[in-house]
Structures are given as structure tokens and as C-alpha cells.
Structure 1
Amino acid sequence: MIEDLIRKTAADDDDAAEELTAIAAADPQRLAPHHHLMLDLDVLWPAALYRGAGADVVARVVERVDGGQTPDALNHLLLVLAHSGHPLAEQAMRRWETAPPPGSDALHVGPLRYAEEAGWTVAPDGTRRSLCGDVAYEWHLRPSTPEPDDAACPWCTSPLWTAADLPDAGDALAHTGWAGRLAVRTCHFCSCYTTLFTAVTPDGGSTWWPGNVRPDYIGRDAGPEDPPALLPVVGPRRQSPFQASAWHDGGSTLGGHPEWIQDADHPACPGCGLLMDYVGQLYGGDFDEYGEGAYYLHLHAPCGLAAVNYQQS
């Protein structure tokens, strides 16, 4: 069945590609025996199909990049290597930072920046750092009556929205190093236009970060709008950390890895400049039947800052 799906994907069958993507999300190792066939048929997209690719597959991709055989496919090949997460892929991507491969002049970012699409990066000390967690849970949006207060967005005056309130971060956020209650309150309207930062404390404190910069394209007459009267509630653990969805009902997920609608957008912490850790995503369709896009939540525990950004097609 999988080989049939691969051949259909190679023939530009979008339904087959979507089915393969679902398999790779639920159990990446199911595709591992078929990676060589995928390379033979030039199935390089979605690159997440290569999660957990073995050394022999990675070596083939690295050789293809080094040889400049298909420089027009360099973007996809780098994404494949990033999603493989293999040490050989990381080694090659580091090497290409200083010795760019053929075709790299057409890239918008350096080879190592592609790692962010797969949820990892290289820290300033040179070590590899995971931006995402290995555990994920369903995140169900349930009716909620917010406690009345005067907290409002200073830009559009909308009441602040509780995008998350976790009494205990638990194993889903173990990669962040956060301990205690995590609440993230932000503006549901303005976060659709720019990344908004929030100062957070382990007792559940969450306040607007005064360094947020209002973009000119947010009109001065915007808002106010009432935020969703829904609060994310943690549900059952997901089969794998890759099952968040920005397209299907029930896609909201705490922990694990995001499904980006556009390019990966892990915000840099305004306190120290390091990339923030990913917390979870909230799918717009889970708010109402006409909703779209997704909100992405992030955290940098050492600086006590959270962030929310948004993407849509």
C-alpha cells in the first residue's frame, strides 16, 4: 500500500501525498523502509516524510547535494536532511554553512536555518538544541467564563485572551525547562498581525510585555473585539509528537511539533536573542466552524517570556 502511495505521490497525486503525510506523522518509522524508493522517484515533498531516515538514505541526499546534481532541488533536499534529524545530516549542514554547496546562491537563508523547520537549531555554544518536545497531547477548546479584570490590549483595547492556562507544564513542556503554572494571556486580534510577547511567572502570572512594537499596518481604529470564550483543556496523549494539524478539526495540540502553514517561525526571545521553545498550537477551526489558520505558542523559560504568533494560508 505504501509503495503505491509513493508512486501516486510521484505522479503529483495530492491525496496520496496527504495520506503519506498522515502516516509519517503517526508513525515515522513505517516509511523508513521506503525512503530509497522515494529518492529514486524524486519524492522530496513533503520533506517530513523523511523523519527518522537512516544513515544510508541521508548519505545519498548529502552526496546529491555535494555533487550539485540537482541544484534547483537544493531547498527540498535541505528540508529532507533537516527532518531526518540524523547526525550525518547535521554534520553536512554545518559544513555547508562555511562551504556552500552548488545552488546555494538561490537560497534565502543558510543551510543550518533549515533545521528550524524540523524543530531544532544550533545553540551559540555549538551544541544542538531541540526547540520542540517529544510528547504531545490533544488540546480541546472548552467554553470558559473569564474572570473579570481590566487587562486589555494597549493597541486595540480588546480584553486580553487566555491562550493557555496550564496548572502544571508536565512532560509536554519538559524541553522548555519551565516549572510551575504557565498562563499565556495575549491579544487574539493583534497577534494575528505580529508576534506578541508576554511576561510570565511560575505562579500563573501573565502580563503584556512593554517592549511589544505595534506595526504600522495595524490601523489605529482597530478593535476592540471580544476574545474567544474558550479555554484550551488538555486531553489524551497523542500517538506521536507530530500529529498537530493546522488544517483539520481537532488539530490543536499541546507539546510536540507544530504544523506550520507557512515557513517555520520560532520567535527570537527579546530578552536574550535565543530562539524560543515551542509550546503548542491552536487551530482556528477548533474555535468555530469557519475558523482558519493557527496560533502558535512559544516560551523562553530563562527570561520568563512567552510569545504567540499566527499563520494562515
Structure 2
Amino acid sequence: MIEELISKVAAEDDEAIEELSVVADTDPERLTPYLGFLLDRDVLWPGKLYRAADADVVRRVVERIDGGRTPDRLNHLLIILAHTAHPLAESAMRRWSTRPPAGADELHVGALDYAREGGWTVGPDGRRRDLCGGTAYRWTMRETPRRADGGTCPWCASPLWTAADLDTADPATGAALAHTGWSGRLVIETCHFCACYTTLYSQVTPGGGTAWWAGNTRPDYLGSAEAEDPPALAPVPGAARQSPYQASAWDRGGSTLGGRPDWIQDAEHADCPGCGQPMDYVGLIGGADLDDYGEGAYYLHLHQPCGFAAVNYQQS
């Protein structure tokens, strides 16, 4: 099956690429023996196909960038390296951050910033930090009546939505949030409407405390908005995912706690308003799980050292 799909992908069969993408999400190591073949045939997109690339393939991608033979493909090649998260990729991207390769002048961000596409970054101390966890659980939706004493959005007056109510005492939650360093209850409240237009931050405490951050800045393009009720649903952890990559921003049942985000657009890990560093990824709530006609996805983030949570949103 894989061999047939690989041949079709090399012939630019879009349906085969979609099927290989599913394999990359469920069991990326199955593609490892074939990635050199794809690289030889210039199949560079989507970059997630190369998640389980071995050292030889990573080295060849690095050499291709260093050789400057295809500077017009630099964006795709850097995304591939980010998804591999391989030490050789990390070393090369660090080097290119001070000595940019050919074609870098056409990029919108620096070479090392591409690491976020793969769910990792390099902190001010020079150490690598993974922004995502390796364990994921399906988020199932349950009905949650709105509290009569609940808060409202300072911008549009809509009742705030409890996007997550988690406790690391639960084994699944503890595993999914292990990479964040959080211990205790985590409640993330947001405005379901305004979060569609800008990243919204809240200050959180391990006792389940949550408060709208006073530094949230209303964008000028938001305009006026009437209050509307948030979803009467909230996620609860369900069964473990086969792979940390199985979140889906598109399909019903794709909402996922932990693991890796399924970005609709470019990776958008929120930056902590307290220290400016990228926040850790918590989970994804797909619009298809909130409403029969829902679209897009909400992405939840946390930065334990500063006590901030964030919610942002993407749609096609």
C-alpha cells in the first residue's frame, strides 16, 4: 500500500498525498524508508511527511540548503527540518540563524523561527524546548450549562466560555500536560467570539483560578459586536490517541488534549505576555465538535512560569 502511494505521490497525485498525510499523522515511522525517494523527486510538501526522517535524509536536506541549489524551495526545506526535530536539523538551523543560507532574504522569519512549525524552540538560555507533548487524548464534548455568576467579555459582553477545566490529578491530563510543568487544576476561560480575531490571554493559578488579562488589546478591526452565548459544550479527556499527531482542525472528533496541533494556517504558538517566550501547547478544540456547521479551530496554550493561558483561532 505505501509503495503504491509513494509512486502516485511522485506522479503528483493529490489524493495520494492526502493518504500519505494520514499515515504521517497515525504512524510516521512507516514512511521512513521512503523519504529519500520522495526527496529525490522533489516532493517537499507537506513537510509533516518527513516527521520520522532518519539522519541520512536530514543530512541531505541540510546539504541541499547549504549548497544553495534551490533557494526558491528554502521555505519548504526548512519546514521539513522543523518537523523532523532531528539534532542535525537543530544544529543547522542554529547556524543559519547567524549565517543565513541562500534564499533567506525572501523569508518572512529567520531560519530558527521555523522550529515552531515542528513544535519546538530555542530559549534565551540557548537550550531547546519542546512546546508540545508526546501524549494525546481525544477531547469529547459534554454539555455545560452557563453559570449564572459567570464573567462576561469586557469587549462584546458575551458570557465567557470555559474552554478547558483540567486537573493534573487525572492521569490522562497529567500525561498530556507533563511538558508544561503545570500541577493542579487549570481553568481556561475566553471569549469564544473575540478569540476569533486576536489571541486572548488569561491569568491562571493551580487552584483553578482564572481571570481576563487586563493587557488584552482590542484590535481596531473588531468593530462593534453584540453579545452572544458561547458554546454550551466543554471538552473532557477521552481515549488515548494512537499518535500525538492525530488532532484534526477539520473533522468531527478531532478535538484533542495534548499532542501536536493541526494548524490550519502557519504555526501560531502564542507568545507569553509576561516574558515574551513561546507558550506551551495544551490542546485543540475543533469547530466541527462545537456545532453542526462549525469551522475553524481554537488552540489553547499555557506558560506555567508566568501563570498565563491563551486562546487563539484559525480558519481557512
Q: TM-score, normalised by structure 2?
A: 0.97
Alignment identity in percent? 67
Q: Is the contact between residue 25 and residue 240 of structure 1 (CA under 8 Å) also seen in structure 2?
A: yes
2:254 to 251, 255, 259: 251
2:267 to 264, 269, 274: 264
Question: Residues of 1 paired with 2:308 and 2:234: CA distance?
Answer: 20
Shift of 1:207: 1.1
Residue correspondences, number = 312
Equivalence for 2:133: 133
Question: Residues of 2 paired with 1:54 and 1:150: CA distance?
Answer: 51
Equivalence for 1:301: 304
Kindly provide the CA deviation profile for residues 10-44 of structure 1, in whole angstroms up to 9, marking residues without a partner as x: 33322211111111111111000111111111111
Residue 204 of structure 1 aligns to which amino acid in structure 2? Answer: G
Equivalence for 2:281: 278
Q: Is the contact between residue 7 and residue 41 of structure 1 (CA under 8 Å) also seen in structure 2?
A: no
1:225 to 206, 222, 228: 228
- Correspondence 1:114-263 to 2 at 5 A: 114-168=114-168, 169-220=173-224, 222-263=225-266
Equivalence for 1:113: 113
Once superposed, what is the RMSD of the aligned Cα atoms?
Answer: 0.9
Equivalence for 2:68: 68
Residue 117 of structure 1 aligns to which amino acid in structure 2? Answer: E
Shift of 1:95: 0.8
Question: Residues of 2 paired with 1:240 and 1:150: CA distance?
Answer: 36
Q: Does 1:85 align with 2:88?
A: no
Equivalence for 2:17: 17
Question: Residues of 2 paired with 1:151 and 1:142: CA distance?
Answer: 20
Shift of 1:150: 4.2
Shift of 1:205: 1.1
Q: Is the contact between residue 21 and residue 49 of structure 1 (CA under 8 Å) also seen in structure 2?
A: yes
Kindly provide the CA deviation profile for residues 117-150 of structure 1, in whole angstroms up to 9, marking residues without a partner as x: 0100001010100000010000011212132214
Shift of 1:60: 0.7
Q: Is the contact between residue 252 and residue 282 of structure 1 (CA under 8 Å) also seen in structure 2?
A: yes
Residue 56 of structure 2 aligns to which amino acid in structure 1? Answer: D
Kindly provide the CA deviation profile for residues 205-239 of structure 1, in whole angstroms up to 9, marking residues without a partner as x: 1111111000011113x020100000101100101
Q: Is the contact between residue 299 and residue 306 of structure 1 (CA under 8 Å) also seen in structure 2?
A: yes
Residue 254 of structure 2 aligns to which amino acid in structure 1? Answer: G
Question: Residues of 2 paired with 1:73 and 1:258: CA distance?
Answer: 24
Question: Residues of 2 paired with 1:29 and 1:223: CA distance?
Answer: 49
Question: Residues of 2 paired with 1:167 and 1:88: CA distance?
Answer: 37
SS in structure 1 at match of 2:35: helix
CA change 1:150–1:86 in 2 (3 A) is closer
SS in structure 2 at match of 1:279: strand
SS in structure 1 at match of 2:301: strand
Q: Is the contact between residue 5 and residue 16 of structure 1 (CA under 8 Å) also seen in structure 2?
A: yes
Name structure 2 gaps, 5 residues minimum. Answer: none
Residue 192 of structure 1 aligns to which amino acid in structure 2? Answer: C
Shift of 1:185: 0.6
Question: Residues of 2 paired with 1:18 and 1:254: CA distance?
Answer: 24
Q: Is the contact between residue 6 and residue 43 of structure 1 (CA under 8 Å) also seen in structure 2?
A: no
Question: Residues of 1 paired with 2:235 and 2:251: CA distance?
Answer: 16
Question: Residues of 2 paired with 1:3 and 1:57: CA distance?
Answer: 18
SS in structure 1 at match of 2:305: helix
Question: Residues of 2 paired with 1:26 and 1:231: CA distance?
Answer: 26
Question: Residues of 1 paired with 2:312 and 2:151: CA distance?
Answer: 20
